[in-house]
Amino acid sequence: MPAFVPRPFRTAGRLLAALAAVVAVAVVFLASIVLTDGAGSGLVAWSVALGVAVVAALWRGRRRAGRARSAPLVPVAVAAALTLSVCVPTVPTARRFPPALPFVATQHWNLATGSRVAVYHYPPSGTGPRHPVPLVYLNGGPVRGISLLDHRFLRLLAAAGYDVYTYEQAGGGRSDLLPMERYTISRSVRDLAAFVDRLGEGRADVLGFSSGAVVLTRALADPDAAARLHRAVIAEPGPMDGPTARLTGHLGRPSARGLAPAPAGPRSTTTPRYAVGLGLMRLGLLTPDTGLIGQAEGDNAFTATDLGSDTASDYCARDAHRIPVEDTPRNFSFSPAASLRVQRTVQDSPSIAPRLGRSRVPAMLMLAECSSQVRRWETAVLAADPAIRRTQYLPGVGHHMWNGLDHNDQRALAVVTAFLQDRPAPLPDYPTRHDIAAFLDAGR
C-alpha cells in the first residue's frame, strides 16, 4: 500500500485482506466438504483447504523479508482453527437411546424385515366394552420418537376400550438404527405389515399421523400390506408419492409459524459442525449417509429446539402463545439424516394412485383447519382412494390435532372411535370426493 495512505486506512486494509483470506479458506473448505461428501469427518476437506491456503500464503509472501514473509500465514491459521471445529464431534458418536418411560414398558421386537423396533402396549383400561380388533398407531416424523403428547392420546384410546399398540419406526426413538441406504418408504410399509403379523391377532386397525399417514396410505396401495389392515385412519398425510410431492398450492388456515415465541433450549445448529453438516444435508449438497456426521451422532446432536418453527406450524395462529410442550429433552429423538432419506424415496417414487384406486380397506381422512400440509397432498389421497368412507375436517386445530388444548383430544377421540366402530360421524362428512374442487377454491 502506498506510503502516503494514512496509517488507520493501511491497518483497515490489512484487516480486510486478512478477513478475505479467512473467508476464502472457509469457501474452499465448504466446497471440498461437498465434493468429498464430508469424508473422514470432514478432515479430508480440511486438509485440502489448508494445503491450498498454505501454498497461496507462501506464494503471496515470497518477495517479502523477515516476519513479513510469514504474515500471510496468520489468517490461514485462524481459518484452519475455525474450519477444524466443523470436523470435531461435540456429542457422542455412538447412539444414546432415550431412557425408559415411567408410565409404559418398552419392549423390543425383532420384525421379519430385520428391523428391531421399540414397542409400547396400552391394553384396554376403561369400564366400557372391549374392541376385538387391535389398534396400531404410526407416529409422524419420519424416523422420530413418539412424543409424550402422542402417548397421552394413546392412553385415551385405551381408556375407550381399544387394545393399542405403537412402535417407533426403525431408527427413531428407542428402536435400533438401520444402515442409511435401508431407510426407504417401502421398508416402512414392510415393517408395518411385519408388525401386524407379529401381533398375531389377524388384521388390525391403523391410525397413521403425518408421515405415519403416508406409510399407511402406501400400505393401502400395497395388496400384501393391505391384507393385514381392517380399517385405516389417515390423519393429516404428507405427499404419498413423487407426483403428489410436486403439487403446490395453499396450506390450511394460518398457523402459529412465525408468531410463536422462539422455544428455549440448546440447538444443534449453534455448533459449527452441525450447522454446516445438517444445513448442507437439508440443501441436498450432502447425502444422508455423508462421512461428515454419522447417523448416530446426528441423532444425538439434534434437539427439540431445532424443530421449533416446525412445531409452531402444527398449531393455529390463535394458539401461538399457548403452544403446549410436546415432549421432554430426555424423551425427544429425531434422526435428521434418516428422515431426509425416507422423504427422498417418497419424492422419487412413481405414482401410487392406480394401485390405491383398487383399495378396499375402509378408510377415513382427517384434516385440520390450520393444517401445515399442502392441501392438494391431502385431497390427492381422497381423490385416489375409493374406499375412503368419510372425511372429518376438524375446526380450531392445527396439524397436531390431539394437542391437549381445550377439548381437542376428546374431539379427535370421538372422530376416530366413531369411524372404527362404524357409528355416525360427530362432524359433517366434508370435504367429500365431489367437494374437492370447491374445497380447494375456497382456500380451506
pLDDT tens digits, 286-298:
999 999 999 999 9
| Judgement on whether residues 387 and 323 belong to the same structural domain of the protein | yes
Does any domain span residue 241?
yes
On whether both 155 and 259 belong to a single domain, the answer is yes
For residues 292 and 33, the answer to whether their CB atoms sit within 8 Å is: yes
**Do both 204 and 260 map to the same domain?**
yes
CB atoms within 10 A of CB 352: 23
- Mean pLDDT, rounded, of the chain: 93
**Are 145 and 81 contained in the same domain?**
no
Rg over alpha carbons for the chain, rounded to the nearest Å, is 26
Same domain, 223 and 319: yes
The distance of Cα 366 from the centroid of its chain, to the nearest Å, equals: 20
pLDDT digits (tens, 9 = 90+) for 45-88: 999 999 998 888 788 776 676 666 677 788 888 989 999 999 99
Tell me which amino acid residue 390 is: R
Residue 102 resides in a domain: no
What pLDDT is recorded for position 430?
Answer: 97
Same-domain status, 26 and 129: no
Give domain status of residue 293, yes or no: no
Task: Answer yes or no: are the C-beta atoms of 259 and 317 closer than 8 Å.
Answer: yes
- The band of 400, judged by pLDDT with boundaries at 50, 70 and 90, is very high
Is residue 354 in some structural domain?
A: yes
How far apart CA 209 and CA 139 sit, in angstroms, is 5
Print the domain residue range for 328: 107-267+308-441
pLDDT tens for residues 205-241?
999 999 999 999 999 999 999 999 999 999 999 999 9
State pLDDT tens for residues 158-187.
999 999 999 999 999 999 999 999 999 999
Contact between 175 and 167 (Cβ < 8 Å): yes
* Domain of residue 315, CATH code: 3.40.50.1820
Q: What is the pLDDT at residue 242?
A: 97
Residues 207 and 339 in one domain: yes
Same domain, 48 and 152: no
Question: pLDDT tens-digit profile of 180-190?
Answer: 999 999 999 99
pLDDT of residue 351: 98
Same-domain check for residues 341 and 426: yes
Distances in Å between the Cα of 323 and the Cα atoms of 69, 310, 326, 435 are: 59, 12, 9, 32
Q: Tell me which amino acid residue 153 is.
A: F
In DSSP notation, 232-244 reads: EEEES----SHHH
Strands ordered across the beta sheet of 229-235 = 107-110, 116-122, 164-168, 135-138, 204-209, 229-235, 363-370, 388-398
Length of the chain, in residues: 444
Q: Which of 61, 156, 171 is nearest to 115 (CA)?
A: 171
Higher-scoring residue by pLDDT: 19, 423: 423
- Reading phi first (left if > 0) and then psi (alpha if -120 to 50, else beta), residue 114 is in left
200 and 250 share one domain: yes
Bigger pLDDT: 195 or 264?
195
Tally of structural domains, the chain: 2
How much is the pLDDT for 342? Answer: 97
* pLDDT average, residue stretch 300-319: 91
223 within some domain: yes
- Say if 283 falls within a structural domain: no
Does residue 68 come out as left (phi exceeding 0), alpha (psi in the -120 to 50 range) or beta?
Answer: alpha
Percent of the chain whose predicted confidence (pLDDT) is above 90: 82
Q: How far is CA 262 from the centre of its chain?
A: 19
pLDDT at 363 over 70: yes
pLDDT band with cut points at 50, 70 and 90 for residue 370: very high
Residue finishing a domain among 55, 87, 119: 87
Interatomic CA distance for residues 238 and 211, integer angstroms:
6
In a domain, 344, yes or no: yes
Contacts of residue 398, defined as CB under 8 A and 6 or more positions apart, other chains included, come to: 252, 255, 256, 313, 314, 315, 316, 319, 368, 369, 370, 371, 372
Instruction: Please spell the DSSP secondary structure of 124-186, one letter per residue.
Output: --SSSPPPSS-EEEE-SSSSBPPPHHHHHHHHHHHHTT--EEEEE-TTSTTSPP--GGG--HH
Is the C-alpha dihedral spanning 26, 27, 31, 34 positive or negative? positive
274 in any annotated domain: no
pLDDT of 199:
97
**Same domain for 313 and 408?**
yes
What distance in Å separates the CA atoms of residue 331 and residue 174, rounded to the nearest whole number?
Answer: 9
Q: Are residues 112 and 12 in the same domain?
A: no
Task: State what percent of residues in the chain have pLDDT above 70.
Answer: 95
